[in-house]
Amino acid sequence: MTARVFLWDSVCDVAALEITGDLPAGAQPAPLVSSPDLWKHDFRAFGFPAGFPNGVWAAGRILGREATGWYQIEDTKQTGYFVQPGFSGGAVWDEALQGVVGLVMAADTREETRAAFTLPVEKALGGWRNQGLIQAEILEKNLPTERLRLYYPTQTSALPAGVDEAGRKKIFISYKRGALPDEALALALYETLSAEHEVFIDKIMPVGADWRGRIQRELESCDFLIPLLSTSSAHSEMVEYEVSAAHHLARSRESGLPRILPVRAAYTAPFDYPLSAYLNPLNWALWRSEADTPALIAELRTVIRGGELRLADLREKQALLQPERGLPRPTASADIGQMERPDGTMEVESRFYLERPGDAICQREIARGGATLVIKAPRQMGKSSLLVRAAAQARSLGRAVTFLDFQLLDQAMLNDPARFFQGFCRWIADELDLDEPVETAWQSGLGHVQSATRYLRRYALKGLEQPLTLVMDEVDRMLGCPFRSDFFGMLRSWHNNRATAPEWRKLDLILVISTEPYLLIDDLKQSPFNVGEVIRLDDFSLAQTADLNDRHGAPFSPPQIERLHKLLGGHPYLTRRALYDVAVGMESAEGLFTRATDENGPFGDHLRRHLARFAERPDLARAMLQVIRRQACEDDLLYHRLHGAGLVNHAADCVAPRCELYAHYFKEHLDK
């Protein structure tokens, strides 16, 4: 790209360039913004210091103006790059205002200082704009951060004219803390809607016992949940938890409340599973920028009064969606292309997927056919990614694949055997596009197990030309179900039928659990969990963590990798989270260690999700504290619940928190 200088300000040492060549594909002008007060706003800048021809990112915070009107900026990290020679003239992006607020002008290069100065855009362009030499819009913004309370309580201000008490609703706004544009949009919705309704928004509420209980109470009592789905929050564990909780609450109530009103906040990528299962069937709202806020508020008001969100048509939704791209890592030390987010299921071709011994067992059994596989591991161990590979292999062998996620089952279905077994068959029929009504198999007057078996044999196995791989994820959901032994006994009979009936040899069964099988069925002779192959997924070893570090371009040094492995214990998801955040420049390695247990630190979203779960189960919270304090858990059932959630492990003759991170964080917060 080429350009020429057409204006020069010798006082400010600023030039205006006219681009004479073609712009890169997709290039767009960055918004220019100003504000009376930028105190402690986070910023980022991009520069080309010596030795880094591909450029590097710097980040920190903005302080006040000095005598010339320039803003002082400072580094807030212990390690990483900061503004230095090579950044001059670069844009300073304000994370709170979402725009360019200035240009880098000078840097104090003393190592103990790590400060620099930026020229505000209104000062840099003011003279030329006043003379009419250039046209540039500078938006005036003033984020009212001083008005934020510890958490937003339900306001009880007088209702405006035309709104009666009966029309006042309880609204829960779900978003990711510290993310943009989430926070600014959440605040705008709160400020407007709270004049007419009771609105809850968790802003900087201290995390502890009060926080755990308050989140749970607000979810249970709200009429509407408004999740703001941005690039950050669509992968947030806490947002997923709140959406999941609202979904299950609505399914268990005759009122169908709370209603979920998804708002896509400048986000057009497909939702990852399980958010896709909760949100794809619903209508959506779309917010692209601050200019859409008034229209979004009007749309939400209409829905609260009984209307519907605008985006309802499937074709219109599909036309909106665009694949989500990874982030390039801004470093000169390794060119590793596009990073892959650590959230959700990994692609089959992902080079960040580490094969473990269970992968070879799974591949062998799927290739053999007529297999029964049990995959056992706690949450976030890579079970779903292994399932994706198993399903891809089965499809490549010409098999039909049906995926059933039991966490989508509502409590009413788990309390009624007729509803459950018929619903189970309808689920399979829907996945396979079978036309035969499920009720046909029940007309003979046989029991639920025999009728479900009859339906699968007659219409799924005999009706399909190809073999069938039936995948059942999160079957722990059956724990506590009064007829779970009947269901699991049925699956065992399907396995046994392969010995005598050829059509049953067309069936592969893959069961995914996170708890011990004996908790799911008492009679081992009827259990499907002790036949076939059992695959147990373990945490990453130090060598595997080091391998994954290399695949991310080695953002951690060898001593830091040992420290990371000690902190996280090889937890697959948290390890990938840490490597990703440091590799793309969101955190420095030392900063990640320093802020590991912070509420808004690199793992804060993950830790708060577990804390919210403890609010639902105080007995589990007490058991976790017992593990931390005494390295023991007296109740086997509670131990297996904690182990299935991925929080504790057996270590020699004692029970211990799974990793140092959990031990430190939950000791502090559960003690409260």
pLDDT at 37: 78
Question: Is the pLDDT score of 118 beyond 90?
Answer: yes
pLDDT of 130 strictly over 80: no
User: Dihedral of CA 421/427/432/436: which sign?
Assistant: positive
Q: Is 651 left (phi over 0), alpha (psi -120 to 50) or beta?
A: beta
Answer yes or no: is pLDDT of 336 > 50. Answer: no
pLDDT category at 149 given cuts 50, 70, 90 is very low
Matching CATH topology for 3-140 and 145-157+165-320?
Answer: no
Contact (Cβ atoms closer than 8 angstroms) between residue 103 and residue 14:
yes
Neighbouring CB atoms inside 10 A of 323's CB total 7
pLDDT for the residue 156 = 45
Least confident range from 306-310, 343-347, 413-417, 529-533: namely: 343-347
Per residue in 282-316, pLDDT tens? 999 999 988 999 999 999 999 999 999 888 777 77
pLDDT at 631: 92
Would you state the pLDDT for residue 372? 93
Dihedral of CA atoms 5, 9, 15, 16 in degrees, nearest 10, equals -70
φ, ψ (nearest 5 deg) of residue 181: -90, 15
DSSP secondary-structure letter at 338?
A: B
Number of neighbours of residue 339 by Cβ within 10 angstroms: 18
Helix (H, G, I), strand (E, B) or coil at 259: strand
| DSSP β-bridge partners for residue 18 | 4
What are the C-alpha distances in Å from 19 to residues 4, 126, 133, 242, 323?
7, 21, 16, 48, 30
Q: What average pLDDT score do residues 390-406 get? A: 92
Average the pLDDT over each of 64-68, 206-210, 263-267, 625-629 and give the range with the smallest value. 206-210
Would you kindly state where each structural domain of the chain is located, as residue ranges?
3-140, 145-157+165-320, 357-536, 542-670
413, pLDDT greater than 50: yes
Lowest mean pLDDT, pick from 194-208, 421-435, 541-555: 194-208
**CB proximity list for 644: less than 8 A, separation 6 or greater:** 378, 379, 476, 514, 515
Higher pLDDT, 215 or 354: 354
Provide CB contacts within 8 A for 121, sequence distance 6+: 32, 33, 34, 100, 101, 102, 103, 138
3-class DSSP assignment, residue 225: strand
Could you tell me where the DSSP H helices lie in 74-208? 121-130, 182-193
Which is it for strands 170-174 and 198-201: parallel, antiparallel or unpaired? parallel
CATH code that applies to domain 357-536? 3.40.50.300
CB atoms within 10 A of CB 239: 24
- According to DSSP, the residues that pair with 655 across neighbouring strands are 650
DSSP string, 522-549: S-GGG-STTSSEEEE--PPPHHHHHHHH
Q: pLDDT tens for residues 55-114? A: 888 888 898 887 778 889 988 766 677 888 888 889 999 888 888 999 998 887 776 678
Average pLDDT over residues 43-48: 90
Helix axes 237-251, 604-616, angle to 10 degrees: 30
| Residue 211 predicted with pLDDT over 80 | no
Write out pLDDT tens, residues 537-574.
999 999 999 999 999 999 999 999 999 999 999 999 99
The whole-number pLDDT of residue 320 equals: 77
Q: Could you tell me the sign of the dihedral formed by the alpha carbons of 403, 407, 413, 415, in that order?
A: positive
Label residue 166 by pLDDT band (50, 70, 90): low
* Residues 311/286, Cβ–Cβ less than 8 Å: yes
The SS3 call for residue 262 is coil
Residue 257 has pLDDT above 90, yes or no: yes
- Whole-number average pLDDT of the chain: 85
Q: What is the mean predicted confidence (pLDDT) over 457-476?
A: 89
CATH number of the 145-157+165-320 domain: 3.40.50.2300
Q: Print the SS3 string covering 378-447.
A: CCCCCHHHHHHHHHHHHHHCCCEEEEEEHHHCCHHHHHCHHHHHHHHHHHHHHHHCCCCCCHHHHCCCCC
Query: What would you report as the CA-atom Rg of the chain, rounded to the nearest whole angstrom?
Result: 28
Spell 380-396 as b/e; 16+ CB within 10 A means b: bbbbbbbbbbbbebbee
Q: What is the DSSP letter of 555?
A: -
Beta-carbon contacts of 576 under 8 Å, excluding residues fewer than 6 positions away, are 342, 352, 548
Topology annotation, domain 3-140: Thrombin, subunit H (2.40.10)
Q: Please give the average per-residue pLDDT across 352-370, as a whole number.
A: 91
Average pLDDT of the segment spanning 122-146: 75
- Which tens digits make up the pLDDT trace of 484-517? 999 999 999 999 999 999 899 999 999 998 887 7
Confidence of residue 41 (pLDDT cuts 50, 70, 90): confident
Question: Where does the pLDDT of residue 145 fall: very low under 50, low under 70, confident under 90, or very high at 90 and above?
Answer: very low
Task: Report the alpha-carbon distance of residue 467 to residue 432 in Å, rounded.
Answer: 12
Cα three-residue angle 54-58-60, rounded to 5 degrees: 175
Dist CA 389 CA 566 (whole Å): 29
From the list 125, 121, 124, 144, the residue with the least C-alpha distance to 133 is 125
Q: Which sign does the torsion angle of CA 606, 346, 272, 342 carry?
A: positive
Q: Which pLDDT belongs to residue 509?
A: 95
* pLDDT tens column, 222-244: 999 999 999 888 888 889 999 99
Beta carbons of 242 and 616 less than 8 angstroms apart: no
d(CA 547, CA 354): 9
User: Looking at residues 388-408, what average pLDDT do you find?
Assistant: 91
